[in-house]
């Protein structure tokens, strides 16, 4: 059982502390006075404002805001960007001219249209969920898809896609390239950087033996401006890093 000590005894000459007085009524009166003051001040302010003449708005057309104030003197205007400097000038033209040409000795393949234009539906059909990809591409502002490909020897196959998005959706090319690189990392790791590209990568995939013989695959994914680039390379022989890197660098150079 706990021991209870004696009650404390006040020190001689020291008064016991008094209980604080509750100020509820005083606070209520002050609150009411404050509210009445705010309401009264607001009413007076509205009355003064109502008696004033309306302030006219500034004119909407202000020619002084034009820039530059005067055109540059003849001969001093900045020169237009060259085709090498203006990437948009290249990609706004015939996108098919920016595809890598078929190498000498290579043969045509039936999966590439004769005019090298691929419809959005055909491009979406290359994915596992074509209808979903088709709707996603339309929502992303896809503009057009140029494609090429060829066969070297009996089994080496190449395909290149240039997927261009509308100017107002130009950022999507970078986003889609990042997404497609993510697909590759599941099987091929983080890949090898492409020279001259900030984020482009090439990938050497593990050998596929599901068809009863070895199939080697390599891929490259990057973007330049509003164009996303995909390169697919397959062969029954092992593909070197140099081969897929060379294809990617050459295609990047044409953009």
Average pLDDT, the chain: 80
Does 167 map to a domain? Answer: yes
Give the Cα separation of 192 and 203 in Å (integer). Answer: 7
Residue 25 predicted with pLDDT over 80: no
Q: Which has the higher per-residue pLDDT, 194 or 40?
A: 194
Tens digits of per-residue pLDDT, 65-109? Answer: 555 667 677 776 676 666 555 555 566 678 999 999 999 999 999
Span 177-217, pLDDT tens digits: 999 998 888 778 889 999 999 899 999 999 988 777 899 99
Is 159 part of any domain?
yes
Residue 217's CATH number? 3.40.1000
pTM, two decimals, is 0.66
Residue 21 lies in a domain: no
With respect to residue 65, please indicate whether it lies within any of the assigned structural domains. no
CB count within 10 Å of CB 113 equals 13
Domain that holds residue 163: 98-117+143-254
* Residue 16, in any domain of the structure: no
Our CA dihedral for 132, 230, 190, 136, rounded to 10 degrees, sits at: -20
DSSP state of 217: E
Retrieve residue 143's tokens.
Answer: 């503009």
117-118/201-204 β-pairing: unpaired
- Does residue 122 lie in a domain region? no
Query: Is residue 233 assigned to a domain?
Result: yes
237 inside domain: yes
With CA atoms as reference, report the closest residue to 120 among 99, 107, 101, 137: 137
| Number of domains the chain is built from | 1
Token pair recorded at residue 254: 């044409």
Which pLDDT score, from 0 to 100, does residue 150 have?
97
- The two most distant CA atoms of the chain are separated, in Å, by 116
């Amino acid at each position: 059982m706990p021991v209870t000590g004696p009650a404390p005894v006040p020190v001689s000459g020291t008064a016991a502390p008094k209980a604080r007085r509750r100020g509820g009524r005083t606070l209520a009166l002050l609150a009411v006075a404050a509210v009445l003051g705010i309401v009264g001040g607001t009413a007076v302010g509205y009355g003064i404002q109502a008696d004033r003449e309306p302030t006219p708005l500034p004119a909407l057309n202000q020619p002084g805001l034009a820039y530059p104030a005067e055109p540059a003197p003849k001969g001093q205007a900045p020169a237009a960007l060259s085709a090498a400097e203006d990437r948009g000038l290249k990609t706004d033209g015939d996108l098919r001219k920016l595809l890598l040409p078929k190498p000498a000795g290579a043969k045509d393949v039936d999966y590439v249209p004769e005019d090298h234009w691929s419809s959005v539906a055909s491009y979406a059909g290359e994915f596992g969920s074509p209808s979903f990809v088709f709707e996603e591409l339309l929502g992303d502002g896809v503009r057009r898809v140029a494609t090429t490909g060829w066969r070297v020897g009996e089994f080496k196959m190449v395909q290149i896609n240039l997927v261009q998005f509308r100017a107002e959706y130009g950022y999507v090319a970078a986003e889609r390239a990042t997404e497609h690189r993510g697909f590759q990392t599941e099987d091929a790791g983080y890949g090898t950087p492409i020279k001259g590209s900030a984020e482009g990568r090439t990938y050497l995939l593990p050998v596929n033996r599901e068809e009863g013989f070895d199939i080697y695959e390599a891929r490259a994914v990057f973007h330049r401006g509003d164009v996303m680039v995909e390169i697919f390379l397959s062969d029954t022989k092992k593909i070197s890093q140099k081969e897929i890197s060379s294809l990617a660098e050459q295609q990047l150079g044409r953009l």
